[in-house]
């Protein structure tokens, strides 16, 4: 039986996580968690908003799970908050829509959000803290790292490897057996024919490398 859930964040991703957790997965959500300097709400979705310090003081990792609902604007922040919750020994909850297809032979890590209509085919390894938005397909035997964001209608071809902290825009496609390194941004509707180098932004059909990404800031989608 799943533990009662706290959701870290009060943005649109947190609201969606609350919806699917309660309406489709039947989970009990206790409230939302934010850092003290971001607490500008007392309630969200009809539930209390706690500071991180209050969360740690009042909710034990032995009885409570968390989902870190931080979106795509700063990929390094997603990784940082995930690490903080992990260090505090909380169990993570995957949020998986009942209308997503996740093959039995796939392997899915923790703190992943898989939305309606998405397909995770046989043999896929999906790491931790990834967002797979609606109608995205991760084809057979892909190896996906951690902290990535796949927007709606993305297709990742069979046997593709993806590193960490990458962003794939709406309706972008990676052809089969390609390698996407860490901190890559593939723009919406782009088609990646070749391997993608780390800390790079790609755009177009076929996708071309158009700019560097700061090694300090990482991928940011403003």
State pLDDT tens for residues 11-22: 999 999 999 999
> Can you give the pTM of this predicted structure?
0.95
- On the question of pLDDT at 222 being above 80, the answer is no
State pLDDT tens for residues 113-159: 999 999 999 999 999 999 999 999 999 999 999 999 999 999 999 99
* CB 68, CB 81: distance < 8 Å: yes
**Mean per-residue pLDDT over the chain, rounded:** 96
Bridge partners of 209, per DSSP, are 202
Phi-psi bin for 177: left (phi > 0), alpha (psi -120 to 50), beta?
A: left
Q: Which domains does the chain have, with CATH numbers?
A: 5-93 (3.40.50.20), 96-206 (2.160.10.10)
- Alpha carbons 174 and 131: distance in angstroms, whole number: 17
């Amino acid at each position: 039986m799943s533990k009662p859930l706290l959701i870290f964040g009060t943005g649109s991703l947190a609201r969606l996580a609350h919806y699917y957790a309660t309406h489709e997965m039947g989970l009990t959500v206790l409230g939302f968690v934010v850092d003290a300097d971001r607490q500008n709400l007392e309630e969200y979705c009809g539930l209390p908003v706690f500071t991180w310090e209050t969360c740690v003081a009042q909710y034990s990792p032995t009885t409570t799970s968390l989902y870190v609902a931080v979106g795509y604007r700063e990929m390094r922040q997603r990784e940082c908050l995930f690490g903080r919750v992990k260090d505090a020994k909380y169990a993570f909850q995957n949020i998986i829509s009942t209308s997503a297809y996740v093959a039995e032979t796939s392997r899915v890590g923790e703190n992943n959000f898989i939305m309606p209509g998405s397909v995770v085919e046989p043999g896929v390894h999906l790491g931790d803290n990834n967002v797979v938005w609606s109608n995205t397909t991760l084809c057979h035997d892909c190896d996906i790292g951690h902290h990535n964001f796949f927007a709606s209608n993305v297709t990742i071809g069979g046997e593709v490897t993806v590193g960490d902290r990458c962003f794939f825009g709406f309706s972008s496609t990676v052809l089969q057996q390609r390698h996407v390194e860490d901190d890559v941004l593939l723009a919406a509707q782009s088609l990646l024919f070749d391997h993608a180098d780390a800390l790079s932004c790609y755009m177009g059909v076929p996708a071309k490398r158009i700019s560097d990404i700061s090694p300090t800031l990482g991928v940011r989608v403003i």
